[in-house]
């Protein structure tokens, strides 16, 4: 016998309601996932809002309900992928005092875990690919990501130099040396199709890259050795 709606218990109704709320709350993420896939497949210019709506299984009006423009979609993608993460990392970096190497060692596993998520890693790949022809995308990424991470890292190396924890180096150049191999690693695979030997498609072996890079980078940060005390010449005459 089929129960009528009025015969449902309050418990039944309470269990049914969250399903709709979860679906509604998940909708922006579904739209962003669809947009990221399409941007990767077709490029930013050739992807229309209609395409995003169709891929996400929603109406075009539903897309505009959450994101007023295609630019707003990609801005939300950047914020979702790295916005909070970079902000939290910057807070930890800014609060650190002393040798930066233990802190960077602690942060590497978190970074590897983050970029191992295709929804996260797809965003910097997209920016690298599209930024030359879309300066606004470069500006957006610089504002939300680089503009937060760079100053924090520069301050980290500055205080380490001043405290004598590492050798006297240019803090800004140190940050460029720290981050440069990661960007080149991504470009080698995404732009030139050169992936690490033996790696499966989509696997860039970030953990191996960063372990190798940091072991070399950290060795170069060792403080300059103290000069050996000069021996005084004996000027006395026998």
Q: The CATH number of the domain where 83 resides is what?
A: 1.10.357
pLDDT mean over 141-167: 96
The domain of 30 spans 22-68
pLDDT mean over 83-112: 94
The pLDDT of residue 59: 95
User: Both 56 and 133 in a single domain?
Assistant: no
Dist CA 103 CA 83 (whole Å): 20
Count of domains forming the chain: 2
The pLDDT of residue 228: 54
Contacts of 38 (CB under 8 A, 6+ apart): 47, 51, 52, 55
Residue 70 — φ and ψ, nearest 5°? -65, -35
**Within a domain: residue 13?**
no
Strand ranges (DSSP E) for 190-236? none
C-beta of residue 171 within 8 angstroms of C-beta of residue 157: yes
CB atoms within 10 A of CB 53: 19
**Which tens digits make up the pLDDT trace of 3-53?**
444 444 443 443 343 333 435 556 999 999 999 999 999 999 999 999 999
The pLDDT of residue 229: 53
CATH of the domain at 34: 1.10.10.60
More confident residue, 74 or 11: 74
User: Both 52 and 107 in a single domain?
Assistant: no
Using CA atoms, how far residue 17 sits from 10, 26, 154, in Å, is 11, 15, 49
pLDDT mean over 173-186: 94
User: Both 30 and 113 in a single domain?
Assistant: no
Residue from 212, 158, 150 nearest 182 by CA: 212
Domain endpoint, select from 52, 68, 84 = 68
Global confidence as pTM: 0.79
């Amino acid at each position: 016998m089929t129960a009528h709606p009025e015969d449902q218990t309050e418990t039944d109704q309470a269990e049914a309601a969250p399903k709709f709320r979860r679906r509604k709350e998940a909708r922006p993420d579904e739209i962003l996932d669809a947009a990221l896939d399409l941007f990767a497949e077709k490029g930013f210019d050739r992807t229309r809002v209609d395409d995003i709506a169709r891929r996400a299984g929603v109406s075009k009006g539903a897309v505009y309900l959450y994101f007023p423009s295609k630019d707003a979609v990609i801005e939300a993608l950047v914020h979702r992928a790295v916005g909070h993460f970079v902000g939290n990392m910057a807070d930890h970096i800014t609060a650190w005092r002393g040798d930066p190497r233990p802190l960077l060692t602690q942060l590497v596993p978190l970074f590897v875990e983050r970029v191992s998520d295709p929804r996260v890693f797809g965003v910097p790949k997209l920016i690298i690919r599209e930024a030359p022809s879309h300066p606004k995308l470069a500006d957006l990424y610089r504002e939300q990501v680089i503009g937060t991470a760079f100053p924090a890292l520069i301050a980290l190396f500055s205080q380490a130099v001043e405290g004598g924890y590492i050798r006297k180096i240019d803090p800004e150049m140190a940050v460029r040396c720290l981050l440069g191999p990661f960007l080149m690693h991504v470009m080698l695979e995404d732009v030139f199709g050169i992936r690490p030997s033996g790696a499966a498609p989509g696997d860039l072996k970030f953990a191996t890259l960063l372990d190798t890079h940091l072991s070399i980078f950290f060795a170069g940060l060792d403080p300059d050795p103290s000069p050996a005390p000069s021996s005084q010449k004996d000027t006395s005459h026998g």
